[in-house]
Amino acid sequence: MDHPDLTEDERELAATVREFAEEVVAPRAYEADRTHTLPLDVVAQMGELGLFGLPFPEEYGGQGGDSFALCLAIEALGRVDQSIAITLEAGVSLGAMPVFRFGTEAQKRELLPDLLAGRALAGFGLTEPEAGSDAGATRTTARLDDDASEWVINGAKQFITNSGTDITRFVTVTAVTGERDGRKEISTIVVPNGTPGFTVEPAYDKVGWHASDTHPLSFVNARVPAANLLGERGRGFANFLHILDEGRIAIAALSTGAAEGCLEASIDYAKKRTVFGEALSTRQNVQFTIARMHLRVHNARLAWHHAARLRDAGKPFKTAAAVAKLTASDAAMDNARDATQIFGGNGFMNEYPVARHYRDSKILEIGEGTTEVQLLVISRALGLQ
């Protein structure tokens, strides 16, 4: 699909990543999904292309781009393989971005270069068994020991992306570090993989995103240096909400790519598939279904482009991000359903990308803020309290 509002550099980036997605990612997608394996060699190639460093300054090893550039890459990958796309999205938005936004200069210099080069991944531990959309219900605790030299962490996290790969370097976790004015003081702390007392539990058996790495985590008296505090003490939850707003734009871009992948596959299949002696594409109900699929892709792309441009211009974007995330995740799920119907029995076979999109797309309505949370954000912006 064309992007009429892109600059020449943005157009070249989109074309480059689309070519990489078709030539490198797509041929590996079925086997990676079938074996529930994240192909780290593909991740390394993404690093070599500079994709993990797109929105970061060159001084830390980044490409000097912006969030719009990152989202272009995520959309192109999401079109053929959502697992690879979410690996990039989470690696940047949830792994590197908190360090860049809130870390000390020493933390940035130490942690960012390998993350931005794709040599390492990191996760963000927010969600818990009793704290999802209500992340303020965090139960994981971190207390300073008697000489205030180490944090002692106890608790559990769940659904943490990029937390258990062979190249995962650390996870940043939210934890209750005290109380302020009778309310929980929530801070964020960097916990390196391999820290005694920190356990990456066995991977989940998920409905979709099979090649994406996702684990529950547990902490039993896990000790890290006091200097591993990321950002100001007590600002952990507030800081993460800002990160989440940015991430919603990226999820919208991923969703748009998935919706487009379903659209393109449906057009191709409808033209080639013969039913009662005629191409399936001659049936008006199929034509209309595909036309609506195109409409969803168009609207989803406009929504995330708008939100990303606002964010990169330094303008308020929280509501636009919610609109984009809601519009695009709906588009991905609806297009996956319609594509599966057009493919008929073949749409139920995992070797066809539309079947994987059908399984993968449901989480897009849940992750980084559910549909209901997006509706809440939008309604509050309209003054509905």
Cα–Cα distance between 135 and 90 in angstroms, integer?
18
Catalytic status, residue 368 = yes
- CA 175 to chain CA centroid, Å, is 22
* Active-site position among 12, 179, 368, 372: 368
Residue type present at position 276: F
d(CA 349, CA 116): 36
> Counting beta carbons within 10 angstroms of the beta carbon of residue 233, is it exposed (0 to 12), middle (13 to 18) or buried (19 or more)?
middle
User: Tell me, what DSSP letter sits at residue 94?
Assistant: I
Looking at residue 278, its amino acid is E
Contact 372, 330 (CB under 8 A): no
- For the chain, report the end-to-end CA distance as a whole number of angstroms: 39
Torsion of CA 269, 274, 278, 283, to 10 degrees: -40
SS3 content of the chain, % helix, strand, coil (to 5): 55, 15, 25
What residues pair up with 46 in beta bridges, in sequence order?
none
> Which residues are CB-contacts of 173 (< 8 A; sequence separation ≥ 6)?
124, 125, 126, 140, 142, 153, 155, 157, 188, 189, 191, 217, 219
CB 168 within 8 A of CB 122: yes
Distance of CA 201 to the CA centre of its chain: 21
Structure tokens at 349: 């076979």
Q: What amino acid positions are annotated as catalytic residues?
A: 368
